[in-house]
């Protein structure tokens, strides 16, 4: 718009020059004044904050990071500024994904990768983030527009594609592998993948990609009746993958991880989706900036304000081959991981309660391929992969139950999980 | 901007008429075309959705209410459209209040009253809602601008004032009493007050106003270290008021309800504030639309993902005179309330677990004034006000403990509460 207005001033000037009668110059000057006013209006409407080189902790009204850097002074986070080094991929920019993206943008995350193929509709206006004037735009374009205005320091990359198609999945994989933002990073090019999709196939695609790349990710979901949701941390080989557990859960017909049914208009609420996005990004911040306890599973039943937590073991009979590979690597890496954890604990004797999920996920250990899925049983009980504990939905007692025999327990756990989810969903 | 552009077309037309040489008309026509293009650009930038007369449940992309009306089809809410009858006042349009206002706006609340005296700063950009181009505007003006764009069906009233000043408090009181939106409503002109302020004095002012008006309200807060928060339901006379309990809690120095200290830059996170706003508005929807269990107190410790709940009795020695009046009314109204609750329970035998907080707060009973604050002790144990039960932070078992002697228990409860809050805040 500013360019258009500048051209108009030029046109008016040349018109003035070609006018024979200077008595008409006053009219032209009046028009020029109008254009100048319009330029000011247009410029103030698109005023953006300028980029910030360093995150300052200076307490002034003009510092967009003062309240975040205060987390260091309050003793919550050791080095907040590290957030600028991290890349997070958000798959699905809907009711949960868009709010998660806005939260991470306002927190000053280094780089965000956004994936969606849908367009903004008026029917999305009952959730936060998108605005009516964005109706018709792709969700990725609309999100980039809004997020770039909010925080120009964040590197935004958007992909308008469906990850469940062959071509979409390939682009998804190569975008996760791309390390141009931080070439020195081990593993993939992103630090975390957040799944904010609304259907089973897309979750299975994220699961496949993350198992193949040995990429830690978090899953999120909201039920079709809009009143419950969950977040879950998935570390390939260490926790259950999405293919390890859901068949049983889906079979009970009560979980939010069901297939999105054709012809059913799911209910949704900005409250439930805002809470799930908040819990998801809070878990993300705790994971990336290493503070507090990272939750492995956190449910939200809004009718009862009940928040069950639990941990899920990988299934040694998982149908996903990449998951089985990661499970084996995890078992072989256990001694090195234990030694590292012990050294860390001795170094920071004061923070003794830190849970295993904080351990660095990039062990850099190569593993011999062995396709016997029962190899888990050959190891001793305490050599089981991390994250095996089963936890009753009592959030504050993070006590690990003694690890029993591997195969049976895994089934027991899923049975118990199903019962808990049924109880959770029973009104 | 559109008006300015229209004036320009008029100016250009009159210029064209006064031009002696018609060879210059082409230049004017070109300028007029530019103005028309600018008008289109300006109009698309301010495109608003039009008002909607009835909330339709039709499943089409253009229906902004389809996903909310689906709550009826899913059996969650009996009559969603009733939301258009309700007025909610939000005191404090900061990190929690602004998001709560956006959620209620997107849910299609009938009328929102907003109170704040602060201006938008870049230092607020680490929380959701406000945008960098709104820096310098009052928070009330910026909020009305954004919310009116999102949902023109909501009646927005904003008050740029400080409720802790004498004048501000008077305007606050009279705005709450104003019943022009729904003249038939009993009691005050609003259905609920949400306190989203960040300091003790403002909370005490909301408490005073709500005790005087017998107005149910919800309080919210986020700790200075940004990692915990709470919401609380306050029903004058029935639950503890804000003056009944906090002195003990503040004395422990660990609760979020401390005074905002001078010179301390509090930390804040969009995650914690988004979660607290989501829990607050979810509780609001449950209270207004009568579904699920309305929580009387819900805490959020994000480091441990721990969500304690509890109920707090009013203090018979409360320093707030209006609270003592409401307590007496509540005791006298108990038999009528019990009878109404019994009749309701018999009518809906299926929903037998519904808790007392769902009971209508407008009993329409006039009470004899009696200024003896110890009158509570004269009543029998089971004639105590509702909402007296103490609950351990185990959310799912809503079992009421047997009601013991009134005065001692109240002190025990506060002691226990203080210990729980200390445990909650201990890392």
Chain A contact probe: residue of B23, B129, B302, B351 with most A CBs at under 10 A = B302
Q: Domain ends where: A342, A360, A382?
A: A342
- Give A24's pLDDT tier (boundaries 50, 70, 90): confident
Q: Which two tokens stand for residue B239?
A: 């639950």
Q: Domain ends where: A342, A363, A393?
A: A342
Contacts of B131 in chain A (CB under 8 A): 149-150
Chain B contact probe: residue of A71, A135, A229, A396 with most B CBs at under 10 A = A396
- Give the DSSP letter of residue B374: T
What is residue A400's predicted lDDT score, i.e. its pLDDT? 35
Q: Which two tokens stand for residue A242?
A: 């999405």
What is residue A402's predicted lDDT score, i.e. its pLDDT? 35
Give this prediction's pTM: 0.76
- State the total domains in chain A: 3
Lowest mean pLDDT among A249-263, B63-77, B236-250: A249-263
Same structural domain, A156 and A294:
yes
| Cα angle for residues B126, B131, B134 (degrees, 5° grid) | 125
Contact state of B281 with A270 under an 8 Å Cβ cutoff? yes
In angstroms, what separates the C-alpha of A401 from chain B's closest C-alpha? 18
- Give A150's pLDDT tier (boundaries 50, 70, 90): very high
| Within a domain: A212 | yes
Q: Domain ends where: B342, B359, B390?
A: B342
Same structural domain, A77 and A21:
no
Q: How many CB atoms lie within 10 A of CB B153?
A: 18
**Tokens 């609340």 label which residue?**
B109
Same structural domain, B155 and B304:
yes
Residue B348 pLDDT exceeds 90: no
| Within a domain: A95 | yes
Contacts of B225 in chain A (CB under 8 A): 71, 74-76
| Within a domain: A394 | no
The domain that contains B270 carries what CATH number? 3.40.50.720
Residue A9 pLDDT exceeds 70: yes
Q: Tens digits of per-residue pLDDT, B79-112?
A: 999 999 999 999 999 999 999 999 999 999 999 9
DSSP A122-182: GGGTTSSS--GGGTTSBHHHHHHHHHHHH-TTSEEEEEES-TTSHHHHHHHHHHHH--SS-
Give the mean pLDDT of B14-23: 81
Give the integer Cα–Cα distance in Å for B256 and A221. 30
Lowest mean pLDDT among A7-16, A213-222, B127-136: A7-16
Contacts of B426 in chain A (CB under 8 A): none
Same structural domain, B73 and B115:
no
Give the integer Cα–Cα distance in Å for B427 and B41. 54
**Number of CB pairs < 8 Å for A and B?**
318
Cβ-nearest to A4 among B18, B37, B63: B37
Residue with the bigger pLDDT between A221 and A259: it is A221
Q: Tens digits of per-residue pLDDT, B245-294?
A: 754 333 333 344 444 454 567 899 999 999 999 999 999 999 999 999 99
Give the mean pLDDT of A164-187: 97
Are B370 and B328 a contacting pair, CB within 8 Å? Answer: yes
Contact state of A282 with B293 under an 8 Å Cβ cutoff? no
Give chain A's mean pLDDT: 80
Give the mean pLDDT of A255-272: 68
Residue A376's Cβ-count burial label (10 Å; 0-12, 13-18, 19+) is buried
Same structural domain, B78 and B99:
no
| Within a domain: A328 | yes
Top mean pLDDT of A252-261, A286-295, B252-261 is at: A286-295
**Tokens 């419950």 label which residue?**
A228
Are A293 and B305 a contacting pair, CB within 8 Å? Answer: yes
Give the integer Cα–Cα distance in Å for A380 and A331. 10
Residue A254 pLDDT exceeds 80: no
Lowest mean pLDDT among A83-87, B56-60, B62-66, B115-119: B56-60
Give the mean pLDDT of A114-132: 96
What is residue A174's predicted lDDT score, i.e. its pLDDT? 98
Q: How many CB atoms lie within 10 A of CB A175?
A: 18
Residue B250's Cβ-count burial label (10 Å; 0-12, 13-18, 19+) is middle
Give the integer Cα–Cα distance in Å for A403 and A154. 43
- Give B423's pLDDT tier (boundaries 50, 70, 90): low
Lowest mean pLDDT among A32-36, A299-303, A320-324, B423-427: B423-427
Contact state of A305 with B298 under an 8 Å Cβ cutoff? yes
Active site members of B: 265
Same structural domain, A63 and A143:
no
* Torsion sign (Cα): A123, A126, A128, A133: positive
What is residue B91's predicted lDDT score, i.e. its pLDDT? 98
Contact state of B304 with A396 under an 8 Å Cβ cutoff? yes
Per the rule left: phi > 0, alpha: psi between -120 and 50, beta: everything else, A221 is: beta
Give chain B's mean pLDDT: 81
**Tokens 């009306």 label which residue?**
B69
Contact state of A60 with B123 under an 8 Å Cβ cutoff? yes
Are A42 and A1 a contacting pair, CB within 8 Å? Answer: yes
In angstroms, what separates the C-alpha of B204 from chain A's closest C-alpha? 26
What is residue B5's predicted lDDT score, i.e. its pLDDT? 85
In angstroms, what separates the C-alpha of B276 from chain A's closest C-alpha? 8
Same structural domain, B222 and B142:
yes
Same structural domain, A29 and A64:
no
What is residue A264's predicted lDDT score, i.e. its pLDDT? 64
Q: Tens digits of per-residue pLDDT, A60-75?
A: 888 999 999 999 988 9
Give chain A's radius of gyration (CA, Å).
26
What is residue B346's predicted lDDT score, i.e. its pLDDT? 87
- Give A318's pLDDT tier (boundaries 50, 70, 90): very high
Spell out the alpha helix ranges (H) of A348-405: 375-378
Nearest CA in chain A to B43: A133
- Give A115's pLDDT tier (boundaries 50, 70, 90): very high
Give the integer Cα–Cα distance in Å for B279 and A304. 11
β-pairing verdict for B111-116 and A87-91: unpaired
Contacts of A34 in chain B (CB under 8 A): 4, 7-8, 11
| Within a domain: B220 | yes
Same structural domain, B22 and B130:
no
Cβ-nearest to A395 among B12, B75, B304: B304
- Give A408's pLDDT tier (boundaries 50, 70, 90): very low
| Within a domain: B90 | yes
Residue A248 pLDDT exceeds 50: no
Domain of A71, in residue numbers? 56-84
Cα separation values, A425 from A299, A302, A303, A372, B305, Å: 11, 10, 9, 38, 20
Are B189 and B177 a contacting pair, CB within 8 Å? Answer: yes
* Torsion sign (Cα): A268, A272, A278, A282: negative
Same structural domain, A25 and A133:
no
Instruction: Show the beta-strand stretches assigned E in B165-234.
Output: 192-195, 217-222, 228-234
| Within a domain: B329 | yes
What is residue B231's predicted lDDT score, i.e. its pLDDT? 94
- Give B197's pLDDT tier (boundaries 50, 70, 90): very high
Cβ-nearest to B66 among A28, A123, A128: A123
Residue A355 pLDDT exceeds 50: no
Same structural domain, A34 and A92:
no
| Within a domain: A398 | no
Give the integer Cα–Cα distance in Å for A145 and B27. 35
Q: Say how many residues make up chain B.
A: 427
Same structural domain, A302 and A174:
yes
Residue with the bigger pLDDT between B392 and B415: it is B415
Contact state of A132 with B49 under an 8 Å Cβ cutoff? yes
């Amino acid at each position: 718009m500013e360019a258009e207005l500048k051209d108009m001033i030029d046109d008016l000037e040349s018109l003035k020059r070609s006018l024979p009668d200077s008595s008409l110059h006053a009219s032209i000057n009046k028009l020029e004044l109008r254009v100048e006013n319009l330029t000011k209006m247009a410029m103030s409407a698109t005023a953006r904050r300028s980029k910030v080189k360093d995150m300052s902790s200076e307490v002034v009204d003009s510092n967009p990071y003062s309240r975040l850097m205060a987390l260091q002074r309050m003793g919550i986070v050791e080095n907040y500024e590290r957030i600028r080094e991290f890349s997070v991929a958000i798959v699905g920019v809907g009711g949960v994904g868009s709010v998660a993206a806005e939260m991470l943008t306002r927190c000053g995350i280094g780089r965000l990768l956004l994936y969606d193929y849908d367009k903004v509709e008026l029917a999305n206006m009952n959730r936060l983030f998108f605005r009516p004037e964005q109706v018709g735009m792709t969700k990725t374009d609309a999100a980039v527009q809004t997020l770039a205005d909010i925080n120009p320091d964040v590197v935004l990359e958007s992909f308008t594609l469906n990850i469940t198609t062959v071509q979409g999945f390939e682009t998804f994989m190569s975008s996760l592998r791309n390390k141009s933002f931080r070439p020195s990073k081990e593993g993939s090019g992103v630090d975390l993948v957040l799944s904010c999709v609304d259907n089973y196939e897309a979750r299975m695609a994220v699961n496949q990609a993350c198992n193949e790349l040995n990429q830690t990710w978090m899953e999120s979901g909201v039920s079709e009746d809009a009143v419950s949701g969950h977040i879950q941390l998935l570390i390939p080989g260490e926790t259950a993958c999405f293919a390890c557990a859901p068949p049983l859960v889906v079979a009970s017909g009560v979980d939010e991880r069901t297939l999105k049914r054709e012809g059913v208009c799911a209910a949704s609420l900005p409250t439930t989706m805002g809470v799930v996005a908040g819990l998801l990004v809070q878990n993300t911040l705790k994971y990336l900036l290493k503070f507090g306890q990272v939750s492995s599973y956190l449910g939200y039943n809004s009718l009862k304000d009940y928040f069950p937590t639990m941990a899920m073991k990988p299934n040694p009979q998982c149908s996903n081959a990449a998951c089985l590979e990661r499970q084996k690597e995890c078992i072989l890496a256990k001694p090195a991981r234990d030694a590292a954890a012990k050294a860390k604990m001795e170094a920071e004797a004061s923070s003794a309660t830190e849970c295993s999920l904080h351990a660095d996920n990039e062990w850099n250990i190569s593993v011999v391929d062995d396709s016997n899925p029962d190899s888990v049983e050959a190891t001793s009980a305490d050599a089981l992969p991390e994250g095996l504990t089963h936890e009753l939905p009592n959030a504050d007692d993070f006590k690990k139950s003694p690890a029993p025999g591997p195969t049976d327990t895994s089934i027991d756990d899923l049975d118990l999980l199903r019962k808990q989810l049924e109880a959770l969903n029973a009104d």
